[in-house]
Amino acid sequence: MKEDFKILKDWKLHFTILVCCMISDKIGTIIIPITPVIKVSLLPLLYAMVFVTILYLLKPITWIKEEQSEAGGIMLTMTCILLGAKLGCNVGSSLETVLTASLPLLVQNIGDAFTCVIALPIALMIGMKREAIGICYANSREPGIALIEQRYGKGAEFRGVVAMYVIGTALGTIAVGLMASIFAGSGLFHVYSVAMACGVGSAAMSTAGIGTLVELYPHMAESITAFASTSNLISSAIGVYLAVFIGLPLSEFLYKKCYPLFNKNEINLSNNQKEDK
Amino acid sequence: MKEITSRTITQWVKTLLLSGIFGMIGNIVGYQIMPWDSLPGILILIIIGIIGLFFSKIVGKSLPAFVHVSIVGILVSMPWCPISGFVMNWVGKVNLMAIVTPILAYAGLTVGRDWRSFTKIGWKAIFIGLLVIFGTFFWSALIAEVLLRIQGTI
């Protein structure tokens, strides 16, 4: 933390970020209709991420490279703090609306612990091994990585959770925005349920969901924001505990049950080896 | 509990101010909200942020700092709080999306740094990763839908 004071001195970095943000905000939200009810919305936050990623990967841009990613990480946390304050205010000011749905809001967060039910068997089917545990036990953010590292060390499970984290950062916002418009447009789910689902994941993912839904259903803006913000707050508070008590044990259980189904030869082989000994 | 030095606090104030400036400019460029409308709200958010960070240092790491900050935000803006009218009058004027643009811009650095490992992840893991994001979304939406219907809210 000694180097903290230097973060702000890197003005080239911050200025570039600012310019990327300004261009993104200027372009604004673009809505692409896929069908009459399902519309995909591209949000400024998405362009900003793409711009900076491209600049990072361009060789001539020497002032946005690995050296800056540490300062960028701290700024990422601090801009999130500002977002946390804003989301908190959204929840507080709509507290009466939120309280009418307090039970669904609390319980729907468990959804994250059941994602392995779909993903893990398929992962094993296409030939993954222990890394599947790290990928599938939850929609992991930073605390999830720490949890897997504590429990399994830096093995295959750790590689899995890091991969999941990277996928979530790079594709999570697009995916949640897209799913929000599809789920709400399908007519099977009420916009409120979709708003709550948007909250389960990182703050950036849920804002992408909020942005999409508010753009498509402006008359429900306040409730959408309140429900998604509350859900996100609950999920950042209890996410790790859900993983410890449900997500991980369930993933391990499924792994034990499903692994033999897709790896019969290997199991026979290892049984034979045991008999040989 | 970590020690809170004046350096830490200066650090918080400076980085939050920078984030606030980003948010303010985003509000002008993207949403035509002028600084005299957004500035008070952004300053309130910064103060909420600092109080929240302070709490999270005292309480420890059982919950992320983000949660502590949000809780402070809830407390000062809920209807029973005497200053909530004032807080929401100003914070309500700050556009949410403009605050998030810089977050994702900084996240772009992380994506750039991890790009090589991302390309190495392979299509299988990317497919499964997307399936995990879908699964979480699907189950959460389903549970919410069922409970909201039972409750009669929707």
Please, which residues have CB within 8 angstroms of residue B12's CB and are 6 or more apart in sequence?
Answer: A78, B49, B50, B53
B27 and B48 housed in the same domain: yes
With CA atoms as reference, the chain A residue closest to B101 would be A45
Q: A116 and B135: CB-CB below 8 Å?
A: yes
Residue B148 lies in a domain: yes
Out of B45, B49, B141, the one facing A193 most closely (by C-beta) is B141
pTM of the model: 0.90
Q: How many domains does chain B have?
A: 2
Report the distance separating Cα A240 and Cα A142, nearest Å. 10
> Nearest CA of chain A to the CA of B140: how many Å?
4
Residues B127, B109 within the same domain:
no
Do both B88 and B109 map to the same domain?
yes
B41 assigned to some structural domain: yes
Domain that holds residue B130: 116-154
Chain A, nearest residue to B22 by Cα: A18
Task: Confirm whether B138 is domain-assigned.
Answer: yes
User: Cβ A25–B114 below 8 Å, yes or no?
Assistant: no
CB contact under 8 A, A69 and B81: no
Contact A89 B76 (CB under 8 A): yes
Alpha carbon separation from B19 to A36, A241, B31, B57 (Å, rounded): 38, 30, 17, 21
Q: Flag residues of chain A having pLDDT under 50.
A: 1-2, 277
Phi and psi at residue B33, in whole multiples of 5°?
-100, 120
Claim to verify: residue B121 and residue B101 sit in the same structural domain:
no
Residue A1 is predicted with a pLDDT of: 46
Residue B134, domain member (yes or no):
yes
Q: Residue B131 and residue A159: Cα distance in Å, rounded?
A: 17
Find the residue in B nearest to A160 (Cα). Answer: B125
Domain ranges of chain A: 2-263
E-only strand ranges, B13-143 = none
- Please tell me the predicted confidence (pLDDT) of residue A263: 83
State how far residue A136 is from chain B, nearest Cα, in angstroms: 6
Mean pLDDT (whole number) for B80-90: 94
- What tokens appear for A175 in the block? 């995916």
B107 and B132, same domain (yes or no): no
Would you say A243 and A147 are in contact if contact means Cβ atoms under 8 Å apart? yes
In eight-state DSSP terms, residue A40 is E
Q: State whether A26 and B103 contact (CB < 8 Å).
A: no
Of B16, B127, B154, the CB nearest to A192: B154
B89 in the same domain as B20: yes
B60: left (phi over 0), alpha (psi -120 to 50) or beta: left
B105 shares a domain with B129: no
Interchain contact, B121 vs A166, CB within 8 Å: yes
Q: Do B124 and A128 touch (CB under 8 A)?
A: yes
B1: in domain: no
Token pair listed for B49 = 């942020």
Residues B11 and B36 in one domain: yes
Domain assignment of residue B108, yes or no? yes
Does pLDDT of B1 surpass 60?
A: no
Instruction: Give B49 to chain A, closest Cα distance, Å.
Output: 6
Does some domain include residue B137? yes
| pLDDT digit string, tens, across residues B88-122 | 999 999 999 999 999 999 999 988 998 888 888 88
CA distance A37 to chain B (A): 18
**Cβ-defined contact of B132 to A135 (cutoff 8 Å):** yes
CA angle, A59 then A161 then A229, to 5°: 90
Q: Which two tokens stand for residue B33?
A: 């909200």
Q: Report pLDDT digits (tens) over B29-65.
A: 999 999 999 999 999 999 999 999 999 999 877 888 9
- Assess whether B97 and B126 both reside in one domain: no
Please state the rounded mean pLDDT for residues B14-41. Answer: 95
Tell me: do B105 and B144 sit in the same domain. Answer: no
Residue B14 has pLDDT above 50, yes or no: yes
CA angle, residues A163, A164, A169, in degrees to nearest 5: 100
Q: Which two tokens stand for residue A118?
A: 């779909």
Q: B108 and A56 in contact by Cβ < 8 A? A: yes
ipTM of the complex: 0.93
Q: Do B108 and B130 reside in the same domain of the chain?
A: no
User: What pLDDT does residue B62 have?
Assistant: 80
3-class SS of residue A219: helix
Average per-residue pLDDT in chain B? 92
- In this prediction, residue B143 carries a pLDDT of 97
Tell how far CA A130 is from the center of its chain: 21
Q: Using alpha carbons, list the distances in angstroms from residue A113 to A44, A50, A107, A219.
A: 30, 30, 11, 32
**Cβ contacts (< 8 Å) between A147 and chain B: which residues?**
none
On whether both B36 and B59 belong to a single domain, the answer is: yes
- Classify residue A246 by its DSSP letter: I
Phi-psi region of A22 (alpha: psi -120 to 50; beta: other; left: phi over 0): alpha
